Structure 1
Amino acid sequence: GGPGDGGPPVDAGPSRRPAEPSMGRFLGVAAGQLVSLIGSAFTQWAIPIWIYLTTGSVAQLALFVTLALVPGLVVAPLAGAVVDRSSRRAVLLAGDVAAWAVQIALGVLLWTDTLQIWHIYALLVGLSVATAFQRLAYVASVPQLVPKRYLRHAIGVVEMVNGVGTLFVPLFAAGLLATVGLDGILVIDIVSYAAAVLVVALVRWPARMGWHRRETLTAEIANGFRYSWGHRHFRAMLLFFLVLNIFLAPPLILVSPLVLSFGTLADAAQVSFVSGLGATVAGLTVALWGGPARRPMRGVLLSILAMAVACVVIALRPDPLLVAAGAFGLAAGLTLTTGIYRAIVQVKIPQRYHGRAAALNQMISWSTLPLGFAVVAPAATALFEPMLMPDGRLAGSVGRLIGVGEGRGIAFVFLLCGLVIAVLVAAAARIRAIARFDTDAPDAVADDLVGVESLRHRREPAGTPPVVPSRPRAGSAT
């Protein structure tokens, strides 16, 4: 057997008290991740804009986003199992160091004047894999670092950190790209990762994971998939997000190309700033409020509906203020959706499955994002742009609503995606496994009891299915 987080609490010597969960400990880790996020946000904003301005191709931009996503999805099951069977602190530290190494390699190529476009794409694959381990370890660590009563607030802090990491960056990134170029931006990114590595190395993790039987890595992946996919409500949510993300992906990637079709790089930076402000405000709201105490799934569905409305607003006119307002709503709705839903899942799933459950959620629900990024967004843009030129086939119909000219085909994609997302929300509200996930699915019991059940199953005859105990729902028979 082995401990769920890297062994017995070796720090707990006679002269040193064991680390206990606390908001202070969590906030220290979150601050370190915030610093690295700010550095990474400079690079993640500057490189796609540079690629789009250099090539003028939505397809090239889509390739960049896809390569940043797909390798992480492929390794997600492995990463989730590693997170659940290892020290989450060690996995987070390793992910930070690996991502740091990729940024250093990118910097060396750039500073020696040997950087080519294909180098960026190749390094993106390594960065995607590193951040998959980093992200899953960080998310799975939250319930371990904070007391349960503060869990929803801590999830809000995680989402707020993501928003703050992209809030002020666009305003400065445009100027930095024009003055110090990618060289200076990469220096900022490398220094920020060094700070994150230092913080994670210094903070002690509470030894809160229960002891459980050591299985092979393959068995842990299979058991995590079996448990998570066998959870009826979790499975329904995965399928819902699987479909939703097909139509959410194009709006997420096309905001900057839409603004650049009628505005300047400064306009794109300002819209990105407002988008980051939306994410920050929503994250701060969840951090202070904790999300809906009753029926949080209503909050999830309403937040998704807000994203649908935001997409329609963005499509209406080629006006930077209107697009910024829609981008604010889109980012705020996404942050609220993620924060509230993640808090629900972490209460319903035992801690020992958090890494694998998060990995399965990421692998399945995000699996259609590349389809939206690499296929739907470029194809729809190429299809609708000619149709919404002044002499195009849709100029006299759709053009009367959203206008004609360059970029209005992209706007039509926003309009269509917003309408489809609204329909999906209406359908989900009528599916009980989704709409009542928060009330029908019982809360998970303490991790040690799950370990006891696993040991009992180990001693029983082969063929007896394992049962993961859970707390009875309110009002149910006991």
Structure 2
Amino acid sequence: MAAAPENTKPQRDFSHAWRALRHRNFRLFFGGQSISLIGTWMTRIATSWLVYRLTHSALLLGTVSFMGQIPTFLLAPLAGVLVDRMERRTVLVWTQILAMLQSLALAVLTLTHRITIHEVLWLSAFQGVINAFDMPGRQSFMVQMVEDRANLSNAIAINSSMVNLARLIGPSLAGLVIAATSEGWCFLVDGVSYIAVIASLLMMQIKPLATARSVAPMAVQLREGWEYVSTFVPVRTILTLFALVSIMGMPFVVLMPVFAAQVLRGGPHTLGFLMGAVGIGALVSALSLVLRKSVRGLLKMIPIAASLFGAGLVCFGLSHWLWLSMALMVIVGFGMMQGMTASNTIIQTLVPEDKRGRVMSYYTVAFVGMAPFGSLLAGWMAHHLGAPRTVIMTGSCVLAGSAWFATRLKAMRREMRPVYEELGIVKPRTAQA
């Protein structure tokens, strides 16, 4: 009897994990963004530490975050309409140029010792305006970079991995730079890093969209986008939970300087360690999603992720030891990213192409636009109750939201199934019989 060939042994093949990188445009985006995002995270940490150094106020930490995010809440729906009407790459090139100028302005003012809280507030608001157009444009452009829609979920997961690798490197690097020099050098590195992503966008070869650009009035398109997200149960429910998580859970980042300096008795390096721990958890989460072969099964991960996020925050508020706080931040980062990426992937899979920009603008509102109200609330609560109690209370609200979402799973699956059948993600029921 002939021996069985060696290649009949079961082997694990993880080549599918990076299938989106087979697309040249996405490889370019991956390379440019990998560099730029490290600078972005350095700026986020440097801005928080700069505000705290200038003011020693938890309330002003929340106020700066509010100013940086409220323009997104106000402008994102309009930006979504414009993204659906314009060439998406052009939108992104301009947002990256403007963001580069914003970071360089922060660098010059800080390095020349002329920075005050007023300049930080106004430049943060300017960045918020940029983000209102950049986020829906970036999310909508994803499908053009990968071309094959079957690889879209993998591209989103890889993008999340890239964001969180930068989240791991950027804050830790920022803590070291701030301790050695000043916040201004972080802003300068960020400004220069935008050159990489601008170059990658200009080098892409983009095919025109198959769907025609709408010529309907902007008011009509705004109404169409709102009607879709408000009447389609899966998208509406996901965005509702996402908004709750953003307003109650996400602002924990605003209070990190307070935890680093007052609760854990550390300095900028402690802040970098805490945010680096968040990055580790988020990166592990994103990599676990990269290994998935399909969007199937992601829906049930959303309430599980929200539960981890909320429970991690509650426990973090009770901790006074750095090692325990860092371990809890890993859990928080995992839950936060798992829910965020799963929500993004499901919505991007469900939404029709002609409404993608508008729907992703509401995703932006839920993700970023609700956060300013959460930042103000967190700052106010921390001012009156203390940062630990604030995080315990907001984490409890996230836990309640995850329980509510779990009760909606059956109705969501029922409405999602026809779309999944049309896309070939699941077999029609008649075919399964």
* Superposition TM-score tier, normalisation by shorter sequence: 0.7 to 0.9
Report the 3-state secondary structure (helix = DSSP H, G, I; strand = E; otherwise coil) of the residue aligned with 2:296. Answer: coil
SS of residue paired to 1:296: coil
Relative to total residues, which structure has the larger helix share, 1 or 2? 2
Deviates more, 1:269-278 or 1:176-185: 176-185
Deviation per CA, 1:296-331: give whole Å up to 9, x if none: 210111111111221133133201111111111111
Note if 1:442 corresponds to 2:419.
Answer: yes
Alpha-carbon distance between aligned partners in 1 of 2:126 and 2:381, rounded to the nearest angstrom: 30
The aligned counterpart of 2:273 is: 270
Displacement after TM superposition at 1:363 (Å): 2.0
Q: Distance in 1 between matches of 2:399 and 2:316?
A: 15
- Cα distance 1:327–1:412, how it changes in 2: closer, same or farther (>3 A)? same
Q: Helix, strand or coil: the match of 2:389?
A: helix
Measure the CA separation in 1 of the matches of 2:52 and 2:421: 46
Corresponding residue number in structure 1 for 2:57: 57
Q: Deviations over 1:160-204 (max 9, x none)?
A: 111112212222212211333233222211210112111111112
Instruction: Tell me by how many angstroms 1:365 deviates.
Output: 5.6
TM-score, normalised by the number of residues in structure 1:
0.79
1:142–1:154 Cα contact (<8 Å) kept: yes
Query: 2: CA distance between counterparts of 1:309 and 1:233?
Result: 25
Compared CA separation, residues 366 and 186, structure 1 to 2 (3 A): closer
Unpaired runs of at least 5, structure 1: 1-19, 386-409, 447-469
Match of 2:428 in 1: 474
Q: What is the number of residues matched between the two proteins?
A: 409
Cα distance change, pair 445–91 in 1 and its aligned pair in 2 (3 A) = farther
- CA offset at residue 158 of structure 1? 1.4
Q: TM-score by structure 2 length?
A: 0.86
Q: Match of 2:349, as an amino acid?
A: V
Work out the percentage of aligned pairs sharing the same amino acid. 21
Q: Between Structure 1 and Structure 2, whose CA radius of gyration is higher? A: 1
Tell me the CA shift for residue 255 of structure 1: 3.2
Q: State the match for 1:297 in structure 2.
A: 299
Partner SS for 2:158 = helix
How far did residue 239 of structure 1 move? 2.5
The one-letter code matched in structure 1 to 2:287 is: L
- 2:98 & 2:369 partners in 1: Cα distance? 24
Would the aligned equivalents of 1:295 and 1:438 in 2 still touch at CA under 8 Å? no
* Separation of aligned partners in 1, 2:224 and 2:345: 23
| Alpha-carbon offset, residue 41 of structure 1 | 1.4
RMSD, matched Cα: 2.7
Which residue of the partner structure matches residue 252 of structure 1? 253
Where structure 2 has 5 or more consecutive residues not aligned to the other structure, the ranges are 1-19
Match of residue 133 from structure 2: 133
Is the Cα–Cα contact under 8 Å of residues 441 and 473 in structure 1 kept in the other structure?
Answer: no
Match of 1:414 in 2: 391
What are the residue-to-residue correspondences of 1:152-301 with 2, within 5 Å?
A: 152-261=153-262, 262-265=264-267, 266-290=269-293, 293-301=295-303
Are the equivalent residues in 2 in contact too, given 1:442–1:473 (CA < 8 A)?
Answer: no
- What residue number does 2:46 align with? 46
Query: Shift of the alpha carbon at 1:22?
Result: 4.9
Aligned partners of 2:414 and 2:348: how far apart in 1?
A: 13
1:350·1:445 contact (CA, 8 Å) conserved in 2?
no
How big is the shift at 1:92? 0.8
Q: Distance in 2 between matches of 1:437 and 1:412?
A: 40
> Residues of 2 paired with 1:356 and 1:234: CA distance?
13
Larger mean Cα displacement after TM superposition, 257-266 or 160-169: 257-266
Shift of 1:141: 1.2
